[in-house]
Amino acid sequence: MNAIAEALFVAEPFQAAGDIVIDCNVNNIFYGDFLAVRDSTVPIEKKKITGFIGPSGCGKSTVLRSLNRMNDLISAFRFEGSVMYHGQDIYAKKVDPVVVRRYIGMVFQQPNPFSMSIFDNVAFGLRLNRFKGDLEERVERALKRAALWKEVKDKLKNSGLSLSGGQQQRLCIARAIATEPDVLLMDEPCSALDPIATRQVEELMLELKQNYTVALVTHNMQQATRVADTTAFFSVDISRGGRTGYLVEMGPTRQIFEAPREQLTKEYISGEFS
């Protein structure tokens, strides 16, 4: 087989209708020598929910974590390309990743509250940003929006770790939105939640997009159809021996699910993907 003659597939760039808040152009993402993601252009539209879907190992989480430089915690990580945010490449040398993460918040797959009280968990980001206003009011508002207030309002002094898994995840969401970040990245936020809590979080996402931008990685295709305005479908290429993820298709969620352009997308959303 002549691998060189075979041109690599690169998705058509998605032309978003509205303003782009984060314009992500991945050339290559490496973990050491391992090429994890190649050639993917993922524009994140302002005040919209952008869903990332695809099979395990397709690099959708890696791309999401590149948007606020979370992957910098892994020393072997290397990003080639650009992520333009308010006219500035966040991977430029002079950019401090700490500042990027203050504006672009993140909710993780596993609930990860700090071992401190529920109140202190939510107030953490506010205190970090030297917030001078009414701390209690902000904490209450964040907990209400995360659909957790009713359950915890009488035990704000209890440890965040004393809550159940689903409550912990909503606490982490409250912690992330308390500082009202410009963009919120959510990496499979509902994978540890029951259906009721999942619905509540989805409603929260829809409410958040009134003012903020959300990027969401999800394994649940129904979730993508319920909340995402735009959907990016990633796949993983194992034909050349590696496991390199890449963007297959990106477009309005309806179009991706009802009239996909690519055969791979069609197979994945109809469940034919092995």
Binding-site size for another protein (CB under 8 A) equals 32
Of 152, 169, 160, the C-alpha closest to 111 is 169
In the chain, how many H helices and how many E strands? 10, 10
What is the closest distance, in whole angstroms, from the C-beta atom of residue 131 to another protein in the complex? 13
- Of 27, 88, 112, 263, the residue at the interface with another protein (CB under 8 A) is 112
Q: Using an 8 Å Cβ cutoff, are 121 and 140 in contact?
A: no
Where does this chain touch another protein (CB under 8 A) — which range of 6-14, 94-102, 144-152, 231-239? 94-102
What is the closest distance, in whole angstroms, from the C-beta atom of residue 169 to another protein in the complex? 12
* The length of the chain, given as a count of residues: 274
What is the closest distance, in whole angstroms, from the C-beta atom of residue 98 to another protein in the complex? 5
Cα distance from N-terminal residue to C-terminal residue, the chain: 23
Which residues are paired to 7 by β-bridges? none
Contact status: 260 vs another protein (CB under 8 A) = no
Contact status: 172 vs another protein (CB under 8 A) = yes
Q: Which of residues 13-52 bind another protein (CB under 8 A)?
A: none
- Of 76, 92, 99, 196, the residue at the interface with another protein (CB under 8 A) is 99
Q: Which three-class secondary structure string do you get for 36-69?
A: EEEEEEEEEECCCEEEEECCCCCCHHHHHHHCCC
Q: Which is nearer to another protein, 179 or 253 (CB)?
A: 179
- Of 8, 10, 92, 98, the residue at the interface with another protein (CB under 8 A) is 98
